[in-house]
Amino acid sequence: MKLVPQPYKITKLTGFSSQNEIDLFENAPEFSEEEYELFISADRIIARASCDKGFYYAKKTMKQINLLYDKIPCVLIHDKPRFSYRGIMIDCARHMFSIPELKKMISVASDFKFNKLHWHLSDDQGFRLEIEGFPELTEKGSVRKCDEFINCKSDKEYSGYYTKKQIKEIIDFCKDNFIDVIPEFDMPGHQSALLHVFPEFTCTGGDVEVKTKQGIFKDIICAGNDEARKVLEKILDEICELFPYEYIHIGGDEVPKTNWKTCEKCQKIMAENSLSDENALQCFFINKMAEYLENKGKKCIVWNDCLKGEGLSKTLTVQQWQGTAKKTALAANGGQKIIMSHFGAYYVDYPYGMHPLSAAYSFEPRNFRGLNSDGKKNIIGVESPIWTEHINNEDRLEYMCFPRWFAVAETAWSEKQNKSFNDFYSVCGSLCEIYRKEGVNCAPESEWKKKSPLKRLTETIGFFLPKK
């Protein structure tokens, strides 16, 4: 029997079941919270678990069996996840998506046993989260003049944000699906929308526009500005009140430090704290913000760019996307928790020819070069992002994610020895067809089948060429 993600252990029994729904739920206190057992006999289907979460996953497995098999085979399934962190990320800063669409994406992800939604809500191109203490963040910071992205161009003004009521609606929906929501408030870079409202928080004090295109921009938060820190803390206070889960993501990626080099306030902080360079200053800044959140009972996630400097706190979880490979391995070996979001395997906003389905399936998170046995244990899971500089409609969002998120889900849940790309591929088409009937715009097989090197190169080059 092939399922996605493939269960920990399947024992084949004789015959087929006359039932297609679980008719008895039994408590199994010895199981971990996500572990379950599904016993399908000729006349009964019994689920065993230690809590509601385990029973939920048993129901999800039963749902897929019904979808894939006309006749329900008799089996004993004992299942539990490989990784505790199984994430997807949706970028709603560049382009927003409706609450019904987000619920659809979350619902499909939950069918494949993802348990984290990393929600990217602020960036250079827009501030999308209502903050009652600073209404101008959405009144001004959510508005950009136009779209000048490579694959998304428009002369029209783009604006919008999620109200706290809408955010709570998504949080409640995720709670029902046993998915934790992790908001990202990126800092000190990727903050043009905030700095448009508070230009005095830059090192130069000059005006900052909400950006209309993708890129890395020099205007970042001044690391030596006490007033900026106080405002960031007040924003984080509201974020913590709104999001009930353990993690807050505070970014830390793609931070150009040119202005820090000539800023008196930044250089003063460096001198007072014997910081060797501006990369160390970033670590100092991130550590301070993380300490503030930790005092409020939160754990912090940062992108691996933060490892470029010395002194990053071991209490932070690092999300690896690209670069700093040696430092990431050393950090994991030394006790730092790591989430793997490999750019070439898990960034699904790029074309299938550039980041194919096979790469999403085959990437092995614990084969990261330089990891020792302790380091491998500190890889706590995986996450697949969908960035939306090039995606401005819901059909395209779904097209790029599915079926690649099916592939990521198997790595997130299933033990390495239980995986087979050929077996996965054999049911992938059926799963896509099933979800298309439920209104999900899964990409056709012509997109995700194996392609020649020339075809892949052509698709990749074409993606980066401006569209007429």
Q: Which tens digits make up the pLDDT trace of 406-460?
A: 999 999 999 999 999 999 999 999 999 999 999 999 999 999 999 999 999 999 9
pLDDT 10s digits, 357-411 = 999 999 999 999 999 999 999 999 999 999 999 999 999 999 999 999 999 999 9
Residue 20 burial class via C-beta count within 10 angstroms: exposed 0-12, middle 13-18, buried 19 and up = middle
- pLDDT per residue over 251-304, tens digit each? 999 999 999 999 999 999 999 999 999 999 999 999 999 999 999 999 999 999
AA identity, residue 247: Y
CA 80 to CA 53: how far, in whole Å? 11
Instruction: Say if pTM beats, i.e. exceeds, 0.95.
Output: yes
User: By the 8 A CB rule, do 205 and 199 touch?
Assistant: yes
- The token pair that represents 233 in the structure block: 């803390």
Please write down the long-range contacts of 425-433, taking CB distance under 8 Å and 24 or more positions apart.
426/2, 427/2, 427/3, 427/4, 427/68, 428/4, 428/357, 428/403, 430/68, 431/4, 431/67, 431/68, 431/403, 431/406, 432/402, 432/403
